[in-house]
Amino acid sequence: MEFTRRSFLKLSASGALLTGLGFDVTPAIAHARQLKIARTTETRSTCPYCSVSCGVIIHTLGDNSYNVRPTVVHVEGDPDHPINGGTLCPKGASLKHCIVNDRRLTKPLYRAPGASHWDEVSWDFVINEIARHVKETRDRIFVQKDLQGKTVNRAEGIAMIGGCTDTSEMNFLMVKVARAFGMVYFDQQSRL
């Protein structure tokens, strides 16, 4: 179609008429931001960073149905937690990026003595290796009697530390293990 001055005027006039007849050309103003955690699954947990052990709530997408692979979309402080009452420090506030992160470790890594790189290894290998080192060290440094000849059964060459995010039950078992080995140097923070 040839676009003449006359047809342009006709088009403009009909456009103006349509607008006048109530076809609103201004954009709709209805607007509200959706709450991104409205239907997420809430899971309580403990911040893994420092020994303050703030309570956090982890929000995952989906309702935990069988067919849903959960994705963490938000982490915020647990308002019912007696330690932090919902607050968090900048490290705690960024916990989502601790979980959803390409650089997160998901497999044990092993650096052989003298090596300059880390190898991916199996859990079986790691547990056997730790057990072997503990056994060898204990056999080498075990003190059965002290200088006065008293029986002490001490393993002074090994120390054990329980972390702040371990539960009381786990720390209880750790103490049992430490005592059974004869360890003297161990500490834990059982309060969760």
Closest CB to another protein among residues 72, 121 = 72
Q: Does 86 bind another protein (CB under 8 A)?
A: yes
Q: Which stretch binds another protein (CB under 8 A): 43-51, 90-98, 115-123, 136-144?
A: 90-98
Name the minimum Å distance from CB 160 to another protein. Answer: 31
Residues 87, 54: contact at Cβ < 8 Å?
Answer: yes
**For another protein, which residue of 1, 30, 147, 180 counts as binding (CB under 8 A)?**
30
* The residue count for the chain: 192
Closest CB to another protein among residues 54, 183 = 54
Strand order in the sheet with 55-61: 41-46, 55-61, 71-77
With a CB cutoff of 8 Å and minimum separation 6, the contacts of 134 are 158, 181
Q: Output the CA–CA distances (angstroms, integers) from residue 92 to 17, 49, 103, 136, in the order listed.
A: 60, 7, 18, 39
Q: Which stretch binds another protein (CB under 8 A): 62-70, 79-87, 134-142, 175-183?
A: 79-87
Interface positions with another protein (CB under 8 A): 26-36, 38, 74-77, 79, 84, 86-90, 92-94, 96-97
